[in-house]
Amino acid sequence: DGGITQSPKYLFRKEGQNVTLSCEQNLNHDAMYWYRQDPGQGLRLIYYSQIVNDFQKGDIAEGYSVSREKKESFPLTVTSAQKNPTAFYLCASSGLINYGYTFGSGTRLTVV
């Protein structure tokens, strides 16, 4: 079955470490997105990519980095520059926009 997979489901980071969250899709979608969700809040766009080897900053890109070397993959790195990284991270992809986005099941990142 086609879908979008995020891993790991839970991730713990020590202060000062960089961590990378994985997002893979087999839907043949061109566009992919990363969102951050804090408790009781909506979605905030971190980065998005509409085509391989190209990506744009969203509303809260500081302290994050991405790459889009393959159509299927859009990993997100949370760097040590991100001061408050504890959150729920959601990856999404889209093909034809009338079908909206398909979301992964999320990664919960906690700083310990």
Partner 1 sequence: GEDVEQSLFLSVREGDSSVINCTYTDSSSTYLYWYKQEPGAGLQLLTYIFSNMDMKQDQRLTVLLNKKDKHLSLRIADTQTGDSAIYFCADYYTGTASKLTFGTGTRLQVTL
From residue 33 to residue 72, the character string flagging contacts with partner 1 as x (rule: CB under 8 A) and all else as - is x-------xxx-x--x-x----------------------
With residues binned 3-state (H G I as helix, E B as strand, rest as coil), the percentages for the chain, rounded to 5, are: 5, 50, 45
Size of the site for partner 1 (CB under 8 A): 24
Cβ proximity to partner 1: between 15 and 54 the closer is 54
In angstroms, give the least distance from the CB of 80 to partner 1: 26
By CB under 8 A, is residue 108 in contact with partner 1? Answer: yes
In angstroms, give the least distance from the CB of 16 to partner 1: 27
By CB under 8 A, is residue 100 in contact with partner 1? Answer: yes
User: What are the phi and psi torsion angles at 97 (to 5°)?
Assistant: -65, -25
Interface residues with partner 1 (CB under 8 A)? Answer: 6, 31, 33, 41-43, 45, 48, 50, 88, 90, 92, 94, 97-106, 108
